[in-house]
Amino acid sequence: MESGLSFALTHLGGEQTVTGSCHLLRVNGVNILVDCGLAQGGERVAPMASWPVPPDKIDFLFLTHAHIDHIGRLPELISGGFRGEIITTEATAFLLAPLLEDALRLNWGQSKNISRNNFTLTPIKQLLAEVERLTWSFEYGREFDLKNGIRFQLGRAGHILGSAWVRLALGGESVVFSGDLGAPETPLLPAPDIPAPCDLLVMESTYGDRLHGDRRERVARLGAILQHALADGGRVFIPAFALGRSQELIYEIDRLYTEKAWRAEFSGLAGARVPVFLDTPLGLKITEVYGRLKPFWDQESKELLAGGDNPLDFDILYGVDSAREHHLLLDYQGPAIVLAGSGMCSGGRIVDHLKNGIGEARNDILFVGYQAAGTPGRDILTYHRRPGAYVYLDDRRCDIRARVHQLTGYSAHADQAGLLAWVAAMEQPPGRIKLVHGEPPAQAALAEKLRVSTGSEV
Ligand SMILES: [Zn+2]
């Protein structure tokens, strides 16, 4: 039991890492899982066989959002016998199928133990049908009954479309899972909602030791890096996750290409009509879903649209869907901006672009997201300055001659100030705060600040 509460909490993944989120809450005879994500890079999660409650005894699975590090083990969970209810928001329910389908194809394609030919598409289809059958979506802000007197509420988390925090309550006791929290200025999305007070807050801490700087500054840095990088006519490769980051980048590049003041400041981009390629079938599909779910956009995006500028489109943005188009793009010499996944270079089309272009000095690689330990993205960032630097991509040793940049301020995660402000906005500080979803240094830095600002046990 958690400090005398009726809630028993066990972390099955993502306790001190940024991937593999999975938390088990046992309360009043009900087994609740919050997220069931895949670990990436060298990070690890608890094997399901070692869980204190087996998958077939889990009653409810809450999904805070549709990133793979929060939903990726859902197929394994269902194969393990899970038949409980999946509870999430309407937008996340829309995003589940394309994300899971992509992850399944990628994993099966890459698995060395499984012959690809032994698989037909039927298991994927069956699995997705099962996920759809089990999924129930709920609106933000209202409290609903779960079971045995337990109530729940979903609040906007401002991280990606559909993202939510979860508040669970029984009698006078309550626990909040933050999920991934966005920055108040995240493009397209309204700022996170503030939950009612709680006894226990389980909170993410990805950037618990960093500050992002403000959004105008970030757009300016993005413009400056792109313009400088493209001056020699090369290509800029931006590894980005299909869900969230890709749409934010399109939004910000749309600003650079469309807004008068930005166009003047960075005439080398819009003026030179440098094309932007979104080379990810999944990213294209998701961008389309984002476009359909306009009621969930923030005020600024709605105003841009009303004024005739669709912030998720501009005239020299090209979607690259088929494998044939992808191969044609590999031969395109630039200047060009290429957005492709995966965000940590551990798979997907970005790997082809890097194998093809990382050895050329006139190309650039721009990292805009977190690079987990053990991923090629992290290796490139860590070693690129060393003489003779190289990285292994698809088991091939590739010399790094392209220039490497990092826009750390560019993140769908709140920074330290954002996380502190979110907790401070609660009517009362939480009784206790448990930090998850962050590497130990980030957690230690944030814990210290939280102890001072809230007086809570952290
Ligand atoms: Zn996320």
Q: 241 CA to middle of ligand 1, Å?
A: 10
Q: 66 CA to middle of ligand 1, Å?
A: 7
Q: 267 CA to middle of ligand 1, Å?
A: 34
Q: 40 CA to middle of ligand 1, Å?
A: 13
Q: 232 CA to middle of ligand 1, Å?
A: 35
Residue 122 confidence (pLDDT): 61
Residues 6+ apart with CB under 8 A from 33: 12, 22, 23, 24, 25, 58, 60, 61, 62, 77
User: HEC profile for the chain?
Assistant: CCCCCCEEEEEEECCCCCCCCEEEEEECCEEEEECCCCCCCCCCECCHHHCCCCHHHCCEEECCCCCHHHHCCHHHHHHCCCCCEEEEEHHHHHHHHHHHHHHHHHHHHHCCCCCHHHCCCHHHHHHHHHHHHHEEEECCCCEEEEECCEEEEEEECCCCCCCEEEEEEECCEEEEECCCCCCCCCCCCCCCCCCCCCCEEEEECCECCCCCCCHHHHHHHHHHHHHHHHCCCCEEEEECCCCCHHHHHHHHHHHHHHCHHHHHHCCCCCCCCCCEEECCHHHHHHHHHHHHCHHHCCHHHHHHHHCCCCCCCCCCEEECCCHHHHHHHHCCCCCEEEEECCCCCCCCHHHHHHHHHCCCCCCEEEECCCCCCCCHHHHHHHHCCCCCCEEEECCEEEECCCEEEECCCCCCCCEHHHHHHHHHCCCCCCCEEEEECCCHHHHHHHHHHHHHHHCCEC
Residues 265, 260: Cα–Cα separation, whole Å: 9
Pick from 344, 23, 372, 13: which is nearest to 165 by CA?
23
Q: 120 CA to middle of ligand 1, Å?
A: 30
Residue 202 confidence (pLDDT): 98
Q: 117 CA to middle of ligand 1, Å?
A: 32
* Spatial contact of 24 and 52, defined as CB atoms under 8 Å apart: yes
Q: 18 CA to middle of ligand 1, Å?
A: 9
Q: 180 CA to middle of ligand 1, Å?
A: 5
Q: 286 CA to middle of ligand 1, Å?
A: 15
Q: 153 CA to middle of ligand 1, Å?
A: 19
Q: 260 CA to middle of ligand 1, Å?
A: 32
Q: 195 CA to middle of ligand 1, Å?
A: 19
Q: 107 CA to middle of ligand 1, Å?
A: 19
Q: 269 CA to middle of ligand 1, Å?
A: 30
Domains and CATH numbers, the chain: 7-210+412-454 (3.60.15.10), 215-406 (3.40.50.10890)
Q: 59 CA to middle of ligand 1, Å?
A: 24
148-158 pLDDT, tens digit each: 999 999 999 99
Residue 370 confidence (pLDDT): 83
Residue 115 confidence (pLDDT): 38
Q: 388 CA to middle of ligand 1, Å?
A: 34
Q: 245 CA to middle of ligand 1, Å?
A: 10
Q: 95 CA to middle of ligand 1, Å?
A: 13
Residue 268 confidence (pLDDT): 87
The two three-digit tokens of residue 388, written as one number: 């003779």
243-279 pLDDT, tens digit each: 988 999 999 999 999 999 999 999 988 888 899 999 9
Q: 322 CA to middle of ligand 1, Å?
A: 27
Q: 447 CA to middle of ligand 1, Å?
A: 21
Angle at 412 between CA 347 and CA 38, to 5 degrees: 40
Burial of 105 (0-12, 13-18, 19+ CB in 10 A): middle
b/e code 259-276 from CB counts within 10 Å (16+ = b)? eeebbebbeebbeeebeb
Q: 249 CA to middle of ligand 1, Å?
A: 16
Q: 192 CA to middle of ligand 1, Å?
A: 14
Q: 159 CA to middle of ligand 1, Å?
A: 7
Q: Please list the ranges in the chain whose pLDDT falls under 70.
A: 1-4, 106-122, 409-411
Q: 164 CA to middle of ligand 1, Å?
A: 10
Q: 118 CA to middle of ligand 1, Å?
A: 32
Residues 132, 101: Cα–Cα separation, whole Å: 12
Q: 166 CA to middle of ligand 1, Å?
A: 14
- CA torsion 294-296-297-298 (nearest 10°) is 140
Q: 181 CA to middle of ligand 1, Å?
A: 8
Q: 67 CA to middle of ligand 1, Å?
A: 5
Residue 373 confidence (pLDDT): 86
Q: 413 CA to middle of ligand 1, Å?
A: 8
Q: 275 CA to middle of ligand 1, Å?
A: 28
Q: 449 CA to middle of ligand 1, Å?
A: 23
Residues 396, 115: Cα–Cα separation, whole Å: 22
First to last CA, the chain: 16
| Residue 349, amino acid | R
Q: 65 CA to middle of ligand 1, Å?
A: 7
Residues 434, 8: Cα–Cα separation, whole Å: 13
Q: 387 CA to middle of ligand 1, Å?
A: 34
Residue 184 confidence (pLDDT): 81
